[in-house]
Chain A
Amino acid sequence: MLERCFGGRRLLKVKRLLRNGKLTLLCLALTVVVIRGYLGAGKFGTPQQDFREIRNRFSRRQAEPRRVLEEAGAGAGAAAEEKRSYGDVDIKTIWIDEDEEPERSDPNRPYTLGPKISDWDERRARWLKKNPNCPNFLRPDKPRVLLATGSSPKPCENPVGDHYLLKALKNKIDYCRLHGIEIFYNMALLDAEMAGFWAKLPLIRKLLISHPDIEFLWWMDSDAMFTDMAFEIPWERYRDSNFVMHGWDHMVYGQKNWIGLNTGSFLLRNCQWSLDILDAWAPMGPLKVREEAGKMLARELKDRPPFEADDQSAIVYLLVKEKDKWADKVYLESAYYLHGYWGILVDRFEEMMENYHPGLGDHRWPLVTHFVGCKPCGKFGDYPVERCLKQMDRAFNFADNQVLQIYGFMHKSLDNRKVKRTRNETDKPLEIKDKFGLIHPAFKAVKVSSS
């Protein structure tokens, strides 16, 4: 039939044309597919957009409520610019430093935390006398304590790091509220020379001299959590001490072990002695000397690996070298976990809940669980990320249970964020017993005047 239409010769031509055309059409189709896949085709969309559209059309998810509020009288606030998701924005592009980098201090002058103060005890005593409504003791056995902690003002490199910082902060807020302790969260690097673990030294000094009514400053790392909400520090025990850390005398003075004590959680009294020890502690901290100092510390201290000087090794070295000067006012506490290394604690939480109760503070129910080495905010830690984060969740829930039980709730399990009720609702809420004495403890009682 075709032969009759076109004639023999023409038919051949048509067939050749068709054969070539087949090839051309195939190439054309492939080109279109590839281009559409990579570049998109404007309003015709990309395959991914097609997929999304199909999914949305058939999905039964509710549309998220839009809460566009325009205050009466305010200017037209509707966003004319293209909306971008938070995931698209690089926070670094938002920062602007308006001033010049401050001048570096003279490299030949030795580093100091600030001008030497020699009469702090007298100054402080005078101030306290002039300000009787800002006493340094809330009760005879209860000093005014400020818990200081902090983190970088920049987002964590680990995408869930900030979430864990938030949880750790909530945990500290809870403990401090229950124990009448004030809290300061620092996000400012006060001295660029003392970045990293050394940043706490300028901060502590600044807080001590700015707040003379504070009797003790309690430094706590951002990767440490309270796990005993009922335990109250035995303040009386430290009546004659100025510096309390978790550790062991024999490991520090005997073995010169760099983990003979821990500076992740410590108490420092607000006095001249403390300003002096901060001054003596600081010299290994500045960036320019840290490497050399680190090498020296690795040589001098037992088991210390070689890395830049850290505040913990430096204080061990200082205490050993100048024992006569400092040791009598330093209390190395090991009766309870002022700092508790997480590795030996976290797997035992269920066992603790079974056998013991809050208020012990020691290996049976640790006061503090400190995730040394996990570094949830950074890219690299010393332990597998999954184990660290999972255990931090467990420690958080273990502590949170002790707070939630006040209100009649607890987590479904230590691995679970969800909570469940532990008691039936009642119409007589004031008759509920405060099991661990957390809501209205004696040390939070206010002195009532007899007038």
Chain B
Amino acid sequence: MAGGLGCDVCYWFVEDTQEKEGILPERAEEAKLKAKYPSLGQKPGGSDFLMKRLQKGQKYFDSGDYNMAKAKMKNKQLPSAGPDKNLVTGDHIPTPQDLPQRKSSLVTSKLAGGQVE
């Protein structure tokens, strides 16, 4: 295609996008996701999803963990819940704000007529 540098670059860009969307809707979705979260998939080591899956469950405040983490950090600031609350390690400690509400008392299931339909 004749024309200046700008024109050629445009042409390639358009063709590339069209090609991508034409092949797989999945690829287009992937592009969307990567545009929103550029750091996705960059983390080395075991898969994020798998680790998250293995460690599901509400973690509670543990004074032992807290004190050990404090000792490790020495002069640095006190430990607090990391950005990923689900990660279970000694250094990630939930703060009182992160604790869930107290569970309500156990009652009969509504499937068994616990409530009139």
Chain B associates with chain A: no
Which of A's residues lie within 8 Å of B, judged by CB?
Answer: none
